[in-house]
Amino acid sequence: MRIGELAARAGTTTRTLRYYETRGLLPARRGGNGYRTYDEDDLRLLRQIKTLQDFGFDLEETRPFVECLRSGHQEGDSCPASLAVYRKKLAELDALIGELSAVREQVGAQLVRAEAALPGGPEPRCELHGKGEGR
């Protein structure tokens, strides 16, 4: 298939495909007429990249998964390098969750402090507030 068809089937643009080619993630094969040619394996590579990017992986982090597929594995995450990237990403996510939890606790404490400082005490809470019922 040609680049336009691959882009359409992968849900991306030809510009993105050319960029992946320059980064070495997508093979640069040319037919006798000079046009880029692609096959179903290339579509699998692109789907793997897109899935990982949807999960928050940056483009370089997808490389081990792409290389795993290129080496003949059925799944891009069946190689040790791919598993290492998963482990690293999970550690990053755990750290972010910890940071967000700490910030949430601080904001909650500030809210309690601010409510306690209101004249007449804290604002009464409405059971329906925040459940889509409006104010």
**pLDDT band, very low/low/confident/very high, at 125 (cuts 50, 70, 90):** low
**pLDDT band, very low/low/confident/very high, at 118 (cuts 50, 70, 90):** confident
Instruction: Give the pLDDT mean for 119-128.
Output: 67
Q: What is the pLDDT of residue 119?
A: 83
**pLDDT band, very low/low/confident/very high, at 123 (cuts 50, 70, 90):** low
Provide DSSP, the chain: --HHHHHHHHTS-HHHHHHHHHTTSS---B-TTS-B---HHHHHHHHHHHHHHHTT--GGGGHHHHHHHHTT-SSTTSSHHHHHHHHHHHHHHHHHHHHHHHHHHHHHHHHHHHHHTSTTSSPPPPTTTTTTS--
Q: What is the pTM (predicted TM-score) of this model?
A: 0.76
CA distance 41 to 71: 11
Lowest mean pLDDT among 15-24, 27-36, 71-80, 112-121: 112-121
Summarised one tens digit per residue, pLDDT across range 63-107 is: 999 999 999 999 999 999 999 999 999 999 999 999 999 999 999
Q: What is the pLDDT of residue 135?
A: 44
Decide yes or no: CATH 1.10.1660.10 for domain 3-116: yes
Q: What is the pLDDT of residue 28?
A: 82
Annotated domain spans of the chain: 3-116
